[in-house]
Amino acid sequence: MFGGSILNWFTVEEVDNETFAISEYNHWEKAHSYLILGDKRACLIDTGLGIDNIKQITDSLTNLPVKVITTHVHWDHIGGHSLFDNISVHEHDVEWMRNGIPVPINSIKNNLIKGVSKELLPKQFSLKDYGVFKGEPSHILKDNEKIDLGNRELLVLHTPGHSPGHICLYERGRGYLYTGDLLYKGTLYAFYPSTNPNDYYISIKKISKLDKINRILPGHNDININKELIAEVRQAFEDLKEKNLLKHGSGLHEYSCLKIKL
């Protein structure tokens, strides 16, 4: 377990003294963003649900300029994007960022407050005023691009499947793999029209070839994940492919370590 502190809506946990998980455990999504501190600049991987002001948290943790890296353009990962000026996204998700994601706002609002006690929501939160970020990114990411933070470097890995422009970020120096929605404990989703089950499988194979992973840092749920989960998920996808079930509409598939909804 990481050491952590609760700051209003968010829980801040130290991965190490220069890496922080900023988590929203009061929500059923249990979304995680990650603040990574270099010598020259900081990187914030995703900005969460947008229920509370994540910039207040990053400001309390660093004085460095913060660059937001978007794992993918889904509402639960871009909720605080409007609070930052420097935002990056992969080229295959950039149109969603510019023009909006293809999900009705009422559906998003229903998911946002589903099962969440009103007493746990920040007093300043207004569902009526809630909107999903749209804007022009500062930078468009490409596969295998390197992000230099000053004495720390992140490698962009294009890992489509959950979204066309989904990325993972790999910090080989510390063996950290930030997986967004590609990999976490729980149910992996590849049934939406914008998902691609076969691309998802290829992306899992891609990250399974990384030579040094000390810690998986996911976008949701349990933050303490055994790195063996990658091999288990790969085996599950291989099983589905062999059975000709790796396709939309084949249903919910349960394995010992996870579920996959196609």
Q: Where are the alpha helices (DSSP H) in 31-92?
A: 54-61
115 within 8 A of 28, measured Cβ to Cβ: yes
DSSP 8-state assignment for residue 74: -
In angstroms, the CA 37 to CA 47 distance is 16
Question: What would the pLDDT profile of 2-61 be if each residue is shown by its tens digit?
Answer: 445 556 799 999 999 999 999 999 999 999 999 999 999 999 999 999 999 999 999 999
Per-residue tokens: 99: 């023009």
What Cα–Cα distance (Å) separates residue 46 from each residue in 84, 206, 208? 11, 22, 23
Whether 137 shows a pLDDT value over 90: the answer reads yes
Domains and CATH numbers, the chain: 4-183+212-224 (3.60.15.10)
What is the sign, positive or negative, of the torsion defined by CA atoms of 5, 72, 212, 235?
positive
Question: What would the pLDDT profile of 223-244 be if each residue is shown by its tens digit?
Answer: 999 899 999 999 999 999 999 9
153 within 8 A of 173, measured Cβ to Cβ: yes
Q: Which of 6-15, 67-76, 140-149, 183-192 has the lowest mean pLDDT?
A: 6-15
Q: Where are the alpha helices (DSSP H) in the chain?
A: 54-61, 94-99, 105-113, 197-208, 229-242
Q: Which residues, in sequence order, are bridge partners of residue 171?
A: 176
Give the mean pLDDT of 129-140: 97
Per-residue tokens: 26: 């009061």
In angstroms, the CA 194 to CA 200 distance is 12
179 within 8 A of 216, measured Cβ to Cβ: yes
